[in-house]
Structure formats: structure tokens, C-alpha cells
């Protein structure tokens, strides 16, 4: 079994973490979103990169 070079994954991991934090902060500050906020929080946290991107493209009303 080949070992994975983690130096290639660190930028992706950092991007995922950054998008999750920005998405959650944006969600908390938003006055209204499409759908319940708790649902978007779960999607952002469990959806990895796609969850954050889905919130920014679909969930935000602005």
C-alpha cells in the first residue's frame, strides 16, 4: 500500500477548515437564510468543502 504524501493534502485541509469557519460565522451573523440555520450548520460541518460551498451559493439570501 502506498503512503499518501500529507504535504499535498495540507492546503486542502486548510481550505476546508477556513471555509467552514467563514461559513459558520456568516451563518451566525445572517438575519435570514433559506431554510433553518441548524440545518445549514450541520451541512457546513459535515459536508466538508461542498457543504460550505452549498451554503454560500444556495443558503445565503444576499
pLDDT for position 24: 94
Q: pLDDT tens digits for the chain (62 residues)?
A: 577 777 888 998 899 999 999 999 999 999 999 999 999 999 999 988 889 888 888 888 76
What is the DSSP secondary-structure string of the chain?
-PPP-HHHHHHHHHHHHHHHHHHHHHHHH-S-BSS-HHHHHHHHHHSHHHHHHHIIIIIB--
Strand, helix or coil for residue 4: coil
Whole-structure pTM value: 0.79
pLDDT for position 37: 94
Amino acid at each position: 500500500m502506498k503512503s499518501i504524501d500529507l504535504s499535498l493534502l495540507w492546503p486542502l485541509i486548510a481550505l476546508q477548515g477556513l471555509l467552514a469557519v467563514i461559513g459558520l460565522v456568516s451563518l451566525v451573523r445572517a438575519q435570514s437564510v433559506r431554510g433553518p440555520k441548524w440545518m445549514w450548520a450541520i451541512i457546513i460541518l459535515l459536508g466538508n468543502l461542498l457543504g460550505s460551498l452549498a451554503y454560500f451559493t444556495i443558503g445565503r439570501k444576499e
